[in-house]
Amino acid sequence: METLTLNNGVEMPMAGIGVFMQSSAEAESSVESALRSGVRLVDTANGYMNESATGRGIKKSGVPRDDIFLVTKLWPTVYEKDDAVDATLKRLGTDTIDLLFLHQPTANWRAGYRQIEKAVKAGKVRAIGLSNFPEDMLQEAIDTMDIAPQMVQVEAHPYFPQTELKKKLAETGMGLMAWYPMGHGDKSLIQEPVFTELGRKYGKSNAQIILRWHIQSGNVVIPGSKNPDHIRDNFDIFDFELTDDDMAAIAKVDKGVRYYNATPEIVASYANMELGPNL
């Protein structure tokens, strides 16, 4: 397993399991399966409404909590709640969150950030992240908060490699965690000839080539799957390395294509979007 050292010295795995759009039963099962397969990074969120199930999956796996890098996110409607972090910890059944994000750049995100800072100082959170935040808001957090952020979570894949953002992150030492790492499963992306050719070269699937590209680009990846075989395959990307020529060939598929475009109206709506039960 390859790891990434964050700008506060915390070390995290570069590949794991995400449970976005999974039911509670699916999340519990996929987390247990992933951990039993050797995965040690788990990503969930208040907004996925499966934190409790994620916690159950962790316990059922039998893997010691200290061996797992646990990531979750605060939803905008709890940014101003004093118990937001403690309630999240309770749902997960843990005393510590390794990386805690603000999920959306809306509502009183500054208050939410300060809540996480307090949790860091209290030893409840090890690192702070910002999910879906634009560059100007990232810079504001860097300039005005007591603790600079360690990680950004954004859409990133070969069709949209976030080249300009990564230049900014390189200046700050912040890491990038990619959601939709395979373009939301877009077959046109996954079946690009370059991935097929490299798959034959290395004896890997197209998806494994894409995930390996992420790792060598410095991105943390959290592909979601409910299939134990696919989970194992998504993690089987550390026994080969793409060459510089391979990476250059993949760079040519950049099309500036995003699969999710959050309008200002959509982002603003998250500030009042109450969540359902977290089972």
Residues at the binding site for substrate are 103
Which segments are annotated as binding site?
103
What are the CB-based long-range contacts (under 8 Å, 24+) for 109-114?
A: 109/76, 109/79, 109/133, 109/137, 110/144, 111/79, 111/80, 112/74, 112/76, 112/78, 112/79, 112/80, 112/84, 113/141, 113/145, 114/145
Is 113 marked active-site?
A: no
What is the helix (H) or strand (E) element at residue 109, kind and residue range? Answer: helix 109-121
CA Rg value for the chain = 18
Pair 45, 70: CB distance under 8 Å: no
| Active-site residue identified among 48, 113, 180, 270 | 48
- Residues annotated as catalytic are 48
